[in-house]
Amino acid sequence: MPATEFDAIVLGAGAAGLMCAAVAGARGRRVLLLDHADAVGKKILISGGGRCNFTNVNTVPDRFISANPHFAKSALARYTPADFIALVERHGIAYHEKTLGQLFCDGSAKQIVAMLLEEAAKAGVDVRTGQPVNDVTHTDGKFTVRFGDQHFTAPALVIATGGPSIPKMGATGFAYDLARQFGLKVVEPRPALVPLTLGGDDVLFRELSGIAAPVEARAGKAAFREAALFTHRGLSGPAILQVSSYWRHGEPVTIDLLPDAPSGWLLEAKRARPRIPLRAALGALIPDRLAETLAERLALPGELGAQTDRKLADAEARLAGWIFRPNGTEGFAKAEVTVGGISTANLSSQTMMAKTVPNLYAVGEAVDVTGWLGGYNFQWAWASGNAAGQVI
């Protein structure tokens, strides 16, 4: 007769749930890990183009977005990139740094899932998948969960069911429903690390679909210097995905299209090559089709030598702060993560336990903590999973 009573039930066998369950199991707790999907860690498998960007060595708390910017500090300090790297190395998984501190497997993301499953098995975690989770109740200090047609109970429950980004992978807003059921607040969830869509006057830029260029993109106070990519719907690429997490409907996104050009470069071009048109001057620095579109928009026909210095200085200023007005995002269907989630005001930053419901915990993306692109979101999943796993 299989056990139906555990010390803790973890809902969601993604990055945070697997880590939490393995850590708690290693402490001798009897842990049940449940997931409605037919397999665990599906987002890990598709992450980083199949190579899983599993952490970022430059992890610092200000690379995480939350209504409370201090909330993530404690968990991140107690489980660092070095801790996860040590785990990866113990399992003999080869990895490399790609760029900007981002660590990827040399082989496959499957190795990270296999590693976490091995840790969970070693810790005696009971992992079950492929049934819906329903009817979560809390009476007499015990949580009861229906999984398919079975009921399980435990004095501790961890919500690790992630956010609603990429619903076709089994992502749901279940964490928020559960949180609300137990009286916890949810900060409005928004798609993040997501392409932006263009309409209106900006629609012309969609014709540049497939063209990428290094830029500095800004939304609000956030600025990212990386590549931007024009798409048939609007803007994507790392710089745009990063600012999308800070962008709000109605706000502009400002892009420096020539972040490496020195101040006064266009006047300098006029002096050096007065016979060339603006399009050619731009074409020396950025892809031809982008140069053509920008030159058309700037409407300075003829040779550079025929333009006044004033007009060229204005054109340079526009190129350094080109204003796009996105009309939306590609939504949760295309968002790598969700900004917002279970309010940190309702959770202990030390343990991730709900302040008003003893022994109810929330970890990972379900919580209102969202990292930058580049391994930060997994680091939050590991760190918050570890924080709860140490105490349940």
Using CB under 6 A as the criterion, which residues of the chain lie in contact with ligand FDA when the complex forms? 11-17, 35-37, 42-43, 46-48, 52-53, 133, 160-162, 165-166, 170-172, 174, 336-337, 364-366, 375-378, 381
Residue 53 C-beta: closest distance to ligand FDA, Å: 3
Is residue 387 within 8 Å of 19, Cβ to Cβ?
no
Distance CA 359, CA 314 (A): 60
Burial grade of 149 (CB within 10 A; 0-12, 13-18, 19 or more): exposed
Nearer to ligand FDA, 171 or 258 (CB): 171
Q: Which of 250, 199, 252, 233 minimizes the C-alpha distance to 331?
A: 233
Nearer to ligand FDA, 20 or 294 (CB): 20
Residue 195 C-beta: closest distance to ligand FDA, Å: 12
Nearer to ligand FDA, 18 or 282 (CB): 18
Name the residue number minimizing CB distance to ligand FDA.
Answer: 14
Cα–Cα separations (whole angstroms), residue 24 to 6, 9, 355, 392: 12, 10, 20, 7
Nearer to ligand FDA, 171 or 304 (CB): 171
Residue 184 C-beta: closest distance to ligand FDA, Å: 16
Distance CA 153, CA 8 (A): 8
Q: Which residue has the tokens 């949580």?
A: 143
Nearer to ligand FDA, 194 or 295 (CB): 194
Distance CA 156, CA 198 (A): 46
Nearer to ligand FDA, 171 or 347 (CB): 171
Residue 207 C-beta: closest distance to ligand FDA, Å: 27
Is residue 381 within 8 Å of 341, Cβ to Cβ?
no
Distance CA 234, CA 230 (A): 6
Residue 367 C-beta: closest distance to ligand FDA, Å: 8
Residue 234 C-beta: closest distance to ligand FDA, Å: 18
Is residue 370 within 8 Å of 66, Cβ to Cβ?
yes
Is residue 64 within 8 Å of 380, Cβ to Cβ?
yes
Nearer to ligand FDA, 101 or 328 (CB): 101
Residue 139 C-beta: closest distance to ligand FDA, Å: 21
Distance CA 3, CA 163 (A): 30
Nearer to ligand FDA, 160 or 228 (CB): 160
- Provide the 8-state DSSP code for 341: E
Cα–Cα separations (whole angstroms), residue 54 to 44, 127, 163, 316: 8, 22, 18, 40
Residue 255 C-beta: closest distance to ligand FDA, Å: 24
Is residue 382 within 8 Å of 79, Cβ to Cβ?
yes
Q: Which residues are CB-neighbours of 204 under 8 A, at least 6 positions away?
A: 293, 297
Nearer to ligand FDA, 55 or 197 (CB): 55
Report H helices in the chain. Answer: 15-26, 42-46, 73-78, 81-90, 110-122, 174-181, 238-244, 265-272, 278-283, 288-298, 309-320, 376-389
Nearer to ligand FDA, 322 or 332 (CB): 332
Residue 51 C-beta: closest distance to ligand FDA, Å: 8
Residue 211 C-beta: closest distance to ligand FDA, Å: 22
